[in-house]
Amino acid sequence: MPDQPPLLDRLAIRHPIIQAPMAGGATTPALVAAVSEAGGLGMLGAGLMAPAAIAQAIAEIRRLTSRPFGVNLFVPEVKPAERDGPAIDAMIAVLAPWYAELRTEAPPRPVPPPPDFEAQAEVILAARVDVFSFTFGVPDAVLLRAFRDGGAVVIGTATTVAEGLILTEAGVDAVVAQGSEAGGHRGTFAGPFEPALVGTMALVPQMAAVLELPVIAAGGIMDGRGIAAARVLGAAAVQLGTAFLATMESGIHPMYKQELLNATDDATAVTRAFTGRPARGIRNPLMATIEQAGTPIPDYPVQAALTAPIRRAATRWGRTDAMALWAGQGAGRARALPAAALMEALVKEAADATPTAIGRSA
């Protein structure tokens, strides 16, 4: 990267702190704008949003801040999952008591597809956002070039060094190294997910040693000490999801926030139960029902569509037993603060933490 300015300059942010994009309503325009205003990089998780809603959210963020921010999408599966058939009947039978309990119904058949990726990307491209990031794969070269030609910094997500190299080859500007502690979906795209469950502590230095691109550490970072540690390990910046989920501006249900604050270090699991894609969340009864049924779980995004009515109703009724409580292993260290106050604390803690790296403290 000899002719590239450092990542922070390219992103035009003061602190090397990225608020993770979190699809599903957590990353409200208020949260994104507050983080960017505080000198970090706010990110809109737009993976599940219709194109028009993305345009509206971008406009709202711009009303709230003139600082840089980014937008994130889910790269679609190469081979789309079957949206009808006996496997879906079987899963609907497993979920039937939950549809009844939450006073909702199974989705129509074939199950509705997710928002169209091309149309989502077009809106983001047209809006000329500062940063475009993605997970679950690699978008095609033409699209990536269009973003870069439009002046966006392009960031991909990798869970192994091999995936980091694939992203480098594809022409991204930086790579998120997503450790196994991370909350939400695994970004794994180049092989089975189990061996790609590499912890942040092990992943970041290996990624930094091999990649000729800035590495952004993600997974289990909850405070300034984690930021300092990641930087010492070779990360150019950090991306925090769970820590920002608990902030005042985050769009999740208050009972979900409470679950984060109460979580113990062993409260989460990586599961395909909610969406058909491995993701880390706090264990709850809906997760247990699906996992223990012994019925094959349809692939993403079909399983996501089958559980969506239950999860939506659960959010309406404040029922954490039937929500997808995405959270990283550090959830118990989350703080219910305004995002600006969290940013301030993170920056101060990171500055305070670094001297202890040479062993002065107990």
Q: What are 174's strand-pairing partners? A: 155
Task: Report how far residue 267's alpha carbon sits from residue 136's, in angstroms, rounded to the nearest whole number.
Answer: 25
Q: Which stretch binds ligand FMN (CB under 6 A): 106-114, 175-183, 204-212, 311-319?
A: 175-183
Please give the DSSP secondary-structure letter assigned to residue 299.
P
Site for ligand FMN in 244-263 (CB under 6 A): 245
State yes or no: residue 242 binds ligand FMN (CB under 6 A): yes
Q: What are 184's strand-pairing partners? A: 280
Task: Report how far residue 268's alpha carbon sits from residue 316's, in angstroms, rounded to the nearest whole number.
Answer: 23
Binding test (CB under 6 A) with ligand FMN, winner from 61, 106, 240, 305: 240
Q: Which stretch binds ligand FMN (CB under 6 A): 22-30, 143-151, 203-211, 309-317?
A: 22-30
Closest Cα partner for 139 from 128, 151, 155? 155
Task: Report how far residue 120's alpha carbon sits from residue 51's, in angstroms, rounded to the nearest whole number.
Answer: 5
H-only helix segments in 214-284: 224-232, 242-245, 254-262
Q: How many CB atoms lie within 10 A of CB 8?
A: 15
Cα-Cα-Cα-Cα dihedral sign, residues 72, 73, 78, 79: positive
How would you label 152-191 residue by residue, b for 16+ Cβ within 10 Å and e otherwise? Answer: bbbbbbbbbbebbbbbbeeebbbbbbbbbbbbbbbbbbbe
**How many angstroms from the chain centroid is the CA of residue 322?**
20
Measured from each CB, the residue nearest to ligand FMN is 241
Q: Which is nearer to ligand FMN, 168 or 239 (CB)?
A: 239
Binding test (CB under 6 A) with ligand FMN, winner from 11, 17, 20, 174: 20
State yes or no: residue 19 binds ligand FMN (CB under 6 A): no
State yes or no: residue 315 binds ligand FMN (CB under 6 A): no
Whose tokens are 């092990």? That residue is: 202
State yes or no: residue 45 binds ligand FMN (CB under 6 A): yes
Give the nearest distance from C-beta 188 to ligand FMN in angstroms: 11
Q: Which stretch binds ligand FMN (CB under 6 A): 99-107, 321-329, 333-341, 348-356?
A: 321-329
Give the nearest distance from C-beta 244 to ligand FMN in angstroms: 8
Binding test (CB under 6 A) with ligand FMN, winner from 159, 180, 239, 315: 239
Binding test (CB under 6 A) with ligand FMN, winner from 102, 221, 246, 297: 221
> What are the tokens at 184?
């939400």
Give the nearest distance from C-beta 137 to ligand FMN in angstroms: 11
Which residues make up the interface to ligand FMN (CB under 6 A)?
20-23, 26, 45, 47, 72, 135, 157, 178, 181-184, 218-221, 239-243, 245, 326-328, 330
